[in-house]
């Protein structure tokens, strides 16, 4: 389906000639993924609430064109500011492709005069923007809803591109590579209740199962918490989105009431990490169900699951329990910092089966620092045991370890490709013939790309730009050859593991 036929509720179309600032909000991947993220709804609402600004959306895939807005077909390059939300490192390729096909100079140094200001935000660049500096005028480091109005004010008041960038560089939480600072402080909101929240969210008018349907279905996204109170050694969110903050129960109920009056949905999807830590979660879920609304929650920590919570979730239509043991080995799980025992996981799954759940999604990581083959076999044993004892259908997502900037494992190497493949095979072989078990995995080659972009530095610019011309894994190999820059081995480069890290200036 293209945006020719795409119908949506709650879109906002303004007369471009009656506003001062045209803002293009871009998601460098599919419409479905972009519409599932809360960032799009937050910025769309905040920006369009301003009388002086018109914000329209662009997606790399699935709409009429990546360079014509969904709302009014406004050409990408007509925007004064183009803002990207970068959720996954490898989407930098799509970001470059969108700029290129929209006739916006790809390299920041080639932009001048009337060219749009290109801004990128999200956890990836909050942790390490350096590999992307060639393509971006300004990065938002930390929580963008705290600084978005100041960014628009700069775009409106600056008399020249240089003046706008100079003003942007002075803002807390904004990093302008052309105007380096010795220190960039991250913006963090302390009181979530005080933030404006999107209560009239855009919903595509598509049938269930359509590829344009958001991942959680047509639902009102309710941000319950931000950040995480844990800090598992590998986890980006657990490190760059600290501390965990929570909306009050009264505020959350108000948002559900007002949100479902203004958004044509019958379901609430709760958003936040480690939601089970929240004392009021059961109250919130059961109250939401009592309002005749469906409800879904993301992955829960196994030690936070209670029978009454799960029963309410079943009443609200949730039938899949999602847990992330990370590994079947209790010792390795301790080393990861997960703080979960086997008994917590077994107990949560048993409780879910009794409450009426019929499927289980488990997340594991292979190639963790210090992992042995016995640890992998322990993961297989856990998958098999949980499938047998619960009788539920089990999907185990087994993904390679990816070292991420600013985590406690930022200096750890990623095992070689062959090793990652071999480890994955142990898992696949271990569950072979079990009809109720499915294994899903990120291709280790993609994990390689993601790792290089996570911990790389600004020398990667040319290889990224060249890879964007070709696409796919083969494109990265070809780009390595053409530029002479080793890219795919960045994450296990021995020197990298010793040197000063490129993102040190972000955590001073
Ligand atoms: S893995 Fe989950 S619990 Fe651990 S830090 Fe990340 S979000 Fe928090």
Q: What is the pLDDT of residues 390-421, one digit of tens each?
A: 999 999 999 999 999 999 999 999 999 999 99
On whether the CB atoms of residues 455 and 124 are closer than 8 A, the answer is no
Per-residue DSSP letter, 178: T
User: d(Cα 420, Cα 434) in Å, to the nearest integer?
Assistant: 23
User: d(Cα 493, Cα 430) in Å, to the nearest integer?
Assistant: 32
Q: Give the pTM.
A: 0.96
Q: Which pLDDT belongs to residue 3? A: 47
Mean pLDDT across 364-384: 97
Name the residue among 392, 394, 393, 338 with its Cα closest to residue 365: 338
Q: Categorize the per-residue pLDDT at 498 as very low, low, confident or very high, splitting at 50, 70 and 90.
A: confident
| Residue 275: count of CB within 10 angstroms of its CB | 22
User: d(Cα 302, Cα 330) in Å, to the nearest integer?
Assistant: 14
Using most ligand atoms within 8 A of CB, pick from 227, 246, 273, 303 the residue to mutate for ligand 1. Answer: 273
Q: Does residue 326 fall inside a structural domain?
A: no
On whether the CB atoms of residues 40 and 58 are closer than 8 A, the answer is no
On whether the CB atoms of residues 126 and 188 are closer than 8 A, the answer is no
Q: Does residue 430 fall inside a structural domain?
A: no
Ligand 1 atom closest to the Cα of residue 231 is: 5
Q: What is the pLDDT of residues 73-121, one digit of tens each?
A: 999 999 999 999 999 999 999 999 999 999 999 999 999 998 999 999 9
The yes-or-no verdict on residue 324 having pLDDT over 60 is yes
Using most ligand atoms within 8 A of CB, pick from 123, 226, 230 the residue to mutate for ligand 1. Answer: 230
SS3 for 224-292 is CEECCCCCCCCCCHHHHCCCCEECCHHHHHHHHHHHHHHCCCCEEEEECCCHHHCCCHHHHHHHHHHCC
Ligand 1 atom closest to the Cα of residue 301 is: 3
CA of 126 to the centre of ligand 1 (A): 17
169 and 224 within one domain: no
Mean pLDDT across 162-187: 94
Ligand 1 atom closest to the Cα of residue 236 is: 6
Q: Which pLDDT belongs to residue 500? A: 85
- Quote the tokens at residue 497: 């593991």
236 lines ligand 1 (CB under 6 A): no
SS3 for 438-479 is EEECCCHHHHHHHHHHHHCCHHHHHHHHHHHHHCHHHHHHHH
On whether the CB atoms of residues 458 and 131 are closer than 8 A, the answer is yes
Mean pLDDT across 152-180: 96
CA distances from 347 to 298, 314, 351 (A): 19, 17, 6
CA of 329 to the centre of ligand 1 (A): 18
Share of the chain above pLDDT 70, in %: 98
Q: What is the pLDDT of residues 200-240, one digit of tens each?
A: 999 999 999 999 999 999 999 999 999 998 999 999 999 99
Ligand 1 atom closest to the Cα of residue 273 is: 7
132 and 27 within one domain: yes
Report the CATH number that the domain containing residue 26 is assigned in CATH. Answer: 3.40.50
231 lines ligand 1 (CB under 6 A): yes
314, 345, 370 - which closes a domain: 314
Give the 3-state secondary structure percentages of the chain, helix then strand then coil, rounded to 5.
40, 15, 40
Q: Does residue 304 fall inside a structural domain?
A: yes
75 and 14 within one domain: yes
Q: Does residue 451 fall inside a structural domain?
A: no
274, 299, 314 - which closes a domain: 314
Range with the poorest average pLDDT among 60-64, 107-111, 252-256, 503-507: 503-507
Q: Does residue 229 fall inside a structural domain?
A: yes
On whether the CB atoms of residues 435 and 393 are closer than 8 A, the answer is no
The yes-or-no verdict on residue 2 having pLDDT over 60 is no
187 lines ligand 1 (CB under 6 A): no
On whether the CB atoms of residues 201 and 208 are closer than 8 A, the answer is no
The yes-or-no verdict on residue 9 having pLDDT over 60 is yes
Length of the chain: 508
On whether the CB atoms of residues 168 and 231 are closer than 8 A, the answer is no
CA distances from 105 to 98, 99, 101, 111, 129 (A): 10, 7, 9, 6, 19
Place of tokens 């109920």: 253
273 lines ligand 1 (CB under 6 A): yes
Burial label, 385 (beta-carbon count in 10 A; 0-12, 13-18, 19+): middle
Mean pLDDT across 432-452: 96
162 and 16 within one domain: yes
155 and 279 within one domain: no
230 lines ligand 1 (CB under 6 A): yes
Q: Write phi, then psi, for 490 (nearest 5 degrees).
A: -55, -45
CA of 159 to the centre of ligand 1 (A): 44
Mean pLDDT across 142-167: 96
Q: Which pLDDT belongs to residue 497? A: 67
238 lines ligand 1 (CB under 6 A): yes
434 lines ligand 1 (CB under 6 A): no
407 lines ligand 1 (CB under 6 A): no
162 and 24 within one domain: yes
Mean pLDDT across 156-163: 94
- Quote the tokens at residue 190: 């302390």
161 and 43 within one domain: yes
Name the residue among 146, 247, 261 with its Cα closest to residue 199: 261
Name the residue among 492, 458, 352 with its Cα closest to residue 130: 458
274 lines ligand 1 (CB under 6 A): yes
Burial label, 372 (beta-carbon count in 10 A; 0-12, 13-18, 19+): exposed
Q: Does residue 440 fall inside a structural domain?
A: no
Burial label, 436 (beta-carbon count in 10 A; 0-12, 13-18, 19+): middle
Helices (H), 86-173: 92-101, 123-127, 148-157, 161-169
Q: Which pLDDT belongs to residue 182? A: 84
On whether the CB atoms of residues 359 and 395 are closer than 8 A, the answer is yes
260, 294, 314 - which closes a domain: 314
Share of the chain above pLDDT 90, in %: 89
Name the residue among 194, 233, 157, 187 with its Cα closest to residue 406: 233
235 and 152 within one domain: no
Q: Does residue 324 fall inside a structural domain?
A: no
Ligand 1 atom closest to the Cα of residue 228 is: 8
Query: Domain tally for the chain?
Result: 2
Max avg pLDDT among 3-12, 91-100, 176-185? 91-100
Report the CATH number that the domain containing residue 279 is assigned in CATH. Answer: 3.30.750.210
User: d(Cα 160, Cα 95) in Å, to the nearest integer?
Assistant: 24
171 and 50 within one domain: yes
User: d(Cα 86, Cα 73) in Å, to the nearest integer?
Assistant: 22
232 and 167 within one domain: no
Using most ligand atoms within 8 A of CB, pick from 123, 224, 226, 228 the residue to mutate for ligand 1. Answer: 228
151 and 237 within one domain: no
Name the residue among 311, 279, 381, 301 with its Cα closest to residue 347: 301
Domain of residue 243 covers: 219-314
CA of 29 to the centre of ligand 1 (A): 24
Q: Which pLDDT belongs to residue 1? A: 40
> Chain-wide mean pLDDT for the chain?
95
14 lines ligand 1 (CB under 6 A): no
Q: Write phi, then psi, for 206 (nearest 5 degrees).
A: -125, 160
List the residue whose alpha carbon is closest to atom 4 of ligand 1.
Answer: 232
Q: Does residue 16 fall inside a structural domain?
A: yes
229 and 104 within one domain: no
294 lines ligand 1 (CB under 6 A): no
């Amino acid at each position: 389906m293209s945006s020719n036929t795409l119908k949506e509720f709650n879109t906002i179309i303004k007369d471009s000639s009656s506003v001062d600032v045209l803002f293009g909000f871009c998601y460098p991947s599919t419409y479905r993924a972009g519409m599932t993220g809360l960032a799009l709804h937050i910025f769309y609402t905040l920006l369009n609430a301003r009388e002086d600004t018109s914000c329209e959306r662009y997606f790399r895939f699935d709409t009429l064109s990546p360079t014509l807005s969904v709302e009014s077909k406004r050409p990408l390059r007509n925007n004064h500011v183009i803002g990207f939300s970068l959720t996954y490192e490898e989407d930098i390729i799509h970001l470059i492709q969108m700029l290129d096909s929209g006739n916006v100079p790809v390299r920041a140094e080639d932009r001048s005069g009337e060219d749009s200001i290109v801004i990128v935000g999200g956890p990836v660049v909050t942790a390490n923007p350096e590999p992307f500096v060639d393509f971006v005028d300004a990065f938002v480091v930390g929580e963008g809803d705290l600084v978005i109005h100041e960014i628009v004010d700069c775009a409106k008041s600056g008399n020249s591109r240089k003046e706008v960038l100079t003003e942007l560089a002075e803002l807390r939480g904004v990093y302008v590579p052309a105007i380096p600072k010795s220190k960039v402080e991250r913006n963090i909101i302390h009181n979530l209740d005080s933030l404006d929240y999107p209560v009239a969210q855009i919903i595509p008018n598509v049938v269930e199962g359509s590829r344009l349907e958001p991942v959680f279905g047509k639902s009102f996204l309710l941000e319950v918490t931000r950040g995480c109170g844990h800090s598992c050694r590998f986890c980006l969110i657990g490190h760059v989105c600290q501390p965990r903050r929570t909306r009050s129960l009264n505020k959350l109920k108000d948002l559900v009431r007002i949100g479902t009056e203004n958004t044509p949905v019958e379901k609430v999807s709760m958003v936040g990490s480690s939601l089970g830590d929240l004392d009021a979660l059961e109250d919130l879920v059961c109250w939401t169900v009592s309002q005749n609304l469906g409800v879904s929650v993301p992955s829960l920590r196994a030690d936070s699951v209670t029978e009454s919570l799960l029963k309410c979730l079943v009443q609200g239509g949730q039938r899949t329990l999602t847990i992330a043991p990370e590994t079947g080995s209790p010792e390795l799980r301790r080393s990861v910092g997960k703080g979960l025992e086997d008994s917590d996981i077994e107990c949560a799954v048993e409780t879910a089966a009794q409450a009426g759940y019929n499927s289980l999604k488990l997340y594991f990581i292979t190639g963790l620092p210090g992992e042995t083959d016995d640890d992998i076999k322990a993961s297989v044993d856990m998958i098999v045991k949980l499938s047998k004892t619960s009788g539920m259908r089990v999907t185990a997502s087994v993904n390679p370890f990816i070292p991420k900037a600013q985590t406690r494992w930022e200096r750890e190497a990623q095992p070689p490709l062959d090793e990652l493949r071999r480890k994955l095979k142990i898992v696949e072989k271990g569950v072979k013939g079990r009809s109720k078990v499915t294994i899903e995995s990120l291709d280790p080659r993609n994990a390689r790309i993601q790792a290089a972009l996570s911990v790389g530095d600004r020398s990667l610019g040319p290889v990224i730009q060249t890879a964007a011309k070709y696409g796919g894994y083969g494109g990265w190999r070809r780009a390595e050859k053409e530029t002479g820059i080793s890219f795919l081995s960045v994450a296990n480069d021995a020197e990298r593991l010793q040197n000063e890290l490129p993102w040190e200036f972000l955590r001073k």
